């Protein structure tokens, strides 16, 4: 999805009242007449990735482990406990994974105590969909208190008809469970949904659920290209 398409869509939002209702536009990923839109949270709706990288890396260091920026972005979208489990297995460590996850949340909350910024081009898509009467949901690998807290802090929690998080499923991303559950809660066929993601494993999850996927990193106004600079 070329970033220039964001301009094309926003410029066309104000007109067209005399013509037939638009059935698709570029930010729906080419899906005609979608039944619903489903959004990842971290790195998609809210700009948390930089803060989470610092928290994840520091947690690993405190538990005598390491995490590179490449590993952080390669595993983006996977629930944090599972990330630590994967790294521990690779490094031959046997840490208390629950303690690691709890410490990481503490650090992330401290680092982002003022709240992460909204990713405005993506939130604008959600707001427009809501105005059009499209059901919208969040499907996040984050923990429920953090996800709800970040969305509520910016006054957009109530924008979504459903919010599902890692506690709600047995298998996180890249398994399709989160996206399938979001579609189920909205009462729609996942094949008629567009999903919005910033992480490769998250995109795999949405595709495995049968959804059309938009890579939000390609939208004009996306706040960072740090994911490209992992060396």
User: Known catalytic residues?
Assistant: 40, 42
Helix, strand, or coil (residue 145): helix
CA–CA separation, 210 vs 179, rounded Å?
9
Q: To 5 degrees, how large is the angle CA 163–CA 57–CA 85? A: 65
HSE, side-chain direction, 13 A CA sphere, residue 34: 29
Residue 212, strand partner residues: 194
Helix, strand, or coil (residue 215)? strand
Residue 174 preceded by cis peptide, ω within 30: yes
Contact (Cβ atoms closer than 8 angstroms) between residue 178 and residue 139: yes
213 bridge partner residues: 195
What phi and psi, each to the nearest 5 degrees, are found at residue 41?
Answer: -105, -70
Instruction: Enumerate helices (H) and strands (E) in the chain, giving the number of each.
Output: 9, 5
């Amino acid at each position: 999805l070329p970033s220039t398409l964001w301009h094309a869509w926003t410029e066309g939002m104000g007109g067209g009242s005399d013509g037939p209702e638009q059935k698709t536009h570029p930010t729906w990923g080419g899906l005609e007449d979608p039944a619903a839109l489903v959004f990842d949270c971290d790195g998609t709706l809210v700009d948390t990735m930089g803060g989470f990288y610092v928290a994840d890396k520091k947690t690993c260091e405190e538990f005598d482990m390491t995490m590179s920026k490449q590993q952080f972005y390669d595993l983006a979208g996977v629930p944090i406990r599972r990330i630590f489990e994967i790294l521990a297995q690779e490094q031959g460590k046997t840490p208390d994974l629950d303690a690691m996850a709890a410490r990481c949340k503490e650090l992330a909350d401290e680092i982002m105590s003022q709240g992460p910024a909204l990713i405005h081009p993506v939130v604008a898509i959600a707001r427009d969909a809501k105005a059009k009467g499209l059901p919208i949901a969040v499907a996040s690998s984050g923990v429920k208190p953090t996800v709800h807290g970040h969305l509520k802090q910016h006054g957009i929690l109530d924008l979504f008809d459903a919010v599902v998080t890692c506690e709600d499923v047995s298998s996180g991303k890249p398994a399709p469970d989160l996206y399938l559950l979001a579609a189920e809660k909205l009462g729609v066929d996942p094949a008629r949904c567009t999903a919005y993601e910033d992480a490769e494993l998250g995109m795999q999850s949405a595709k495995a659920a049968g959804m059309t996927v938009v890579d939000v990193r390609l939208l004009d106004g996306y706040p960072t290209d740090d994911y490209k600079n992992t060396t």
